Structure 1
């Protein structure tokens, strides 16, 4: 018994002798913070390692207990290897070491990737109706997996997603994978991908039900670019939703396929609309250096009758000119793209020494073709005008015209009124004959364009230009609205509105037969909502192409507002040093 007690005493003493340094070491670790690092990978591989490595949750915090630290460190070896496998690295080597300093405990991982696994074979089979669908052949050719390339699990999953998305988009409702496997041969460092996809039949559009429509159903059906029995495509439904929402007839629009009611490989379509308020009123004060203070009053009737006819009217009062405008709009065969309009307009202008009152009525045919727009117009106008103290004249013209425009732009993701990149070009041709309700014969052509180019997130370059020419045997009979003027906010900054061009004996600008305007501008983003700009404008109008061109230089600031840039520019005419600097204020999109 005595020996037994003595033996237990020796065991206890020995344990204390061993435990004391271990306890001291643990005490030291408990008082340190943990620092976890790894080397050997970067980029996507490093990001995935961070998401897998559990020990990183203690990084910068108090070091865990010794036994837990060793367990987590060993577990990290396995986690890192698993994190690298989705990128094709199945033969990586991972080692770690643990060292303790006076203030930090370090866990360092060393990663050796080893040879990657490549795609050795792709077994792809497409069955069902999609086997004869050219769109699916294009999808197959665009799959991001290729024999001989390094295996990446994300590209394998993306390939499956592309096939499913194409099937859903094109109406293969019963599509499924009959086999989808990724087999990795570790010894051969290669992978075999098997994708067998059965699309089943392609569904067609079925009956269309329209709920809560306040317009004529036949008129609303003209927005549909598909018919019952046509092959299903989600883009047709998206285009319909966008067209109805953009028509301004409806406050809310919902377009959806009813797959749970599909029968005989046809899917019915549900369209639910909520009418908008029929009448819209507008009132808004404003200011522009070309027009001075102004007030705008508007009234729109969103639909006049159940055939979707609309009425827009506006009155704009300013220091320079007063305008009254009424536009009756008749939707075309494709209401989303085509329309006809009957317009009446009165424009009374009193600026500097020009006094003009224009009465105008016209009919228009507008068509849209993706980025293109075409307008044919026939207008009759009467204009009473006087230059300076000269005799008041009256002119009458029946003016047919044609205008073509092309606009392409990339807008800011958060504000479609801010253009990052794009261009606009247009051409307008108009004329009249003294044999048909006109006081003179003329032919006028105007070409214009504008471009925005972004060098990077901060620097942009903007350019615009406009040229015009009038062929006529009796220019003096042309009223001011048919002549060319230059100068102002959107022309040659540094000069007043329409104050560049030929002048009469009193020095009153009377407008020219030829027009030329150009501008170059660079701007820089100095803050999230602010840009500064440097620019130079050129231009003039004249009776001959050899007219002298005027040049100005200037600097400006831009506030990137929700309705587009608010521009404040100050410009000086180089050719006339004595002319004072001129301030220009404009609001609206760059294109």
Structure 2
């Protein structure tokens, strides 16, 4: 490498001062310097800064596939030397030899083992221009899987009861014969196979060996894998630490991990989830003791109990009603009762509410007694509704299925001249919800379905019987890593009664808003009156189709997704008068630390207006 000649410069420094290394002097006209040599000369140095030196080279990569070009540009180490301005031809040639090896290695990770690679250099054109280094890549055919060989050791090799699990691992293998080979897919497939082995019966299993033998001539890859399952494991005694106020018996009931149960990773995760969602514990960790015997492996439950009392104050913004204030108080053991109480207050310009929930500890079947009281004042389209609801019954919350049955009293009063006074009703109800999503609170695939059924009669002068039902569903279908997923949501409801005018409005239906038909205000879709008011109706039907697609940054999937959607819904008093209101728009989804955040801009076709919708959390 050529180096510039070293010029020693002595700068004059005031007495007592120090000069360390080069120094800028900013002279307005000239500066006198003493040159090391036989001749003393005076030179005038101008203030004009020197022109910048050109970079060492510009790298241009050309391939038939844009994604491969971006992959090479992102990972080539050669790029680090492009900004040097003192790189000579000899060093650049050496760097290109190293880069050629790295290009072949990078292409091999993508399954291309016979690429045609050509490097060319173009001299710089002018003093301020840089040399051009051009890399041309023809990848050739991708290598494909020719054969996958499996070897099994341990209990799984001869245990007939594990035959199904072994078949599921083989059938779920994501690199079958004929598929293209890449290093990332190979690593991902091995990880998934091992995860399936460890998920059930064999928590101490391991991968003994794995090989990918590449025949570059034929572009074929032979895969071989060897797994040792170890022994089949049964759950033993539960060792609980961290209990102080709520007792070990409650932990045992919520965990539901009986002795002698076949080990299942999902069973331990579900036990942990039950303990966390109970609200009695701030943190929970459920694990298997690897040093215990296989026929009775101890289960360790380490937890930290929540404080007996907790206050939560919140300030937020709702897209439909502006600023919102909330306050919540939780007492995990009400003195003299032993139940948990949750008191809530909420206020914004459209909705003010106060509520109290009391929940008993779970019994051996996880059923819990509960009672609640809720008071609300809500501003709808042109009028106020004051309502109250009291409920008492039992509930059982599970990982996939929630059940509850309860008696309920409803009362609602519409504050508007010309519309009746307070309507009241009493009913018996049953609710059932089933969830089958791959992960919460950020599901990518799955199905959920819920049903509510109630029967009762109105109070007051007339005792009119009625039946109320409501069904809702959510279906998520993935389309691939880059294509995202489709979300299909639907809700149907109805009230059967000979005179619905005597029913409280809270037992009837309205639509519109964040979780209903976007593009319309909450409660704005209902039975329209001649004076412009919108009242609740007897029948409800809403639906939504949404395409959610990941947003990538630097070719990596980010925490954001885009969404395109269309919603439709209607409320009517007669099924033959169904007339859908349609809303459509675009939105963004954020996987925030507190749960999914949805931001949508929707256009209401019937009202010809744009409306912003924002909400947090996944609920079904």
- C-alpha distance in structure 2 between counterparts of 1:244 and 1:312, whole Å: 18
CA contact 1:501–1:541 (8 Å) conserved in 2:
no
* Aligned-residue offset at 1:325: 3.7
Are 1:77 and 2:100 an aligned pair?
A: yes
- Counterpart position of 1:402: 430
> 1:66 and 1:190, CA in 2 relative to 1: closer, same or farther beyond 3 A?
same
CA contact 2:500–2:538 (8 Å) conserved in 1:
no
Comparing 78-87 with 483-492, greater Cα deviation is found at: 483-492
SS of residue matched to 1:62: coil
* Aligned-residue offset at 1:88: 4.6
Residue of 310, 333, 356 corresponding to 1:303: 333
Task: Give 1 or 2: higher helix fraction.
Answer: 1
> 1:230 and 1:468, CA in 2 relative to 1: closer, same or farther beyond 3 A?
closer
- Counterpart position of 2:88: 65
- Structure 1 residues 47-74: Cα deviation after superposition (integer angstroms, max 9, x where no partner): 6655775433322433623332233333
* Aligned-residue offset at 1:212: 1.5
SS of residue matched to 1:70: helix
State the structure with more CA Rg.
Answer: 1
CA contact 1:118–1:148 (8 Å) conserved in 2:
yes
SS of residue matched to 1:403: strand
- C-alpha distance in structure 1 between counterparts of 2:215 and 2:256, whole Å: 51
CA contact 1:556–1:570 (8 Å) conserved in 2:
no
Residue of 121, 125, 128 corresponding to 2:154: 128
* Aligned-residue offset at 1:408: 7.9
- Counterpart position of 1:198: 228
SS of residue matched to 1:194: strand
Comparing 337-346 with 551-560, greater Cα deviation is found at: 551-560
CA contact 1:127–1:197 (8 Å) conserved in 2:
yes
CA contact 1:92–1:112 (8 Å) conserved in 2:
yes
- Structure 1 residues 188-212: Cα deviation after superposition (integer angstroms, max 9, x where no partner): 6654433333322133333321112
Residue of 165, 168, 172 corresponding to 2:195: 165
1:141-290 → structure 2 map (5 Å cutoff): 141-147=171-177, 151-170=181-200, 172=202, 175-185=205-215, 190-213=220-243, 214-259=245-290, 261-264=291-294, 266-282=296-312
- Counterpart position of 1:18: none
SS of residue matched to 1:299: strand
Are 1:101 and 2:132 an aligned pair?
A: no
- Counterpart position of 2:407: 378
CA contact 1:367–1:374 (8 Å) conserved in 2:
yes
* Aligned-residue offset at 1:289: 11
* Aligned-residue offset at 1:220: 1.0
> 1:228 and 1:496, CA in 2 relative to 1: closer, same or farther beyond 3 A?
closer
- Structure 1 residues 439-487: Cα deviation after superposition (integer angstroms, max 9, x where no partner): 5141222436587999999999998765533324x767x3535764758
SS of residue matched to 2:254: coil
- Counterpart position of 2:453: 429
CA contact 1:296–1:315 (8 Å) conserved in 2:
yes
- Counterpart position of 1:480: 504
* Aligned-residue offset at 1:241: 2.3
- Counterpart position of 2:343: 313
5+ long unaligned stretches in structure 1: 1-29
Residue of 28, 53, 58 corresponding to 1:35: 58
Number of equivalent positions: 542
> 1:84 and 1:449, CA in 2 relative to 1: closer, same or farther beyond 3 A?
closer
> 1:304 and 1:210, CA in 2 relative to 1: closer, same or farther beyond 3 A?
farther
* Aligned-residue offset at 1:256: 2.9
* Aligned-residue offset at 1:223: 2.0
> 1:130 and 1:429, CA in 2 relative to 1: closer, same or farther beyond 3 A?
same
Residue of 170, 185, 208 corresponding to 1:140: 170
* Aligned-residue offset at 1:249: 1.0
> 1:101 and 1:425, CA in 2 relative to 1: closer, same or farther beyond 3 A?
same
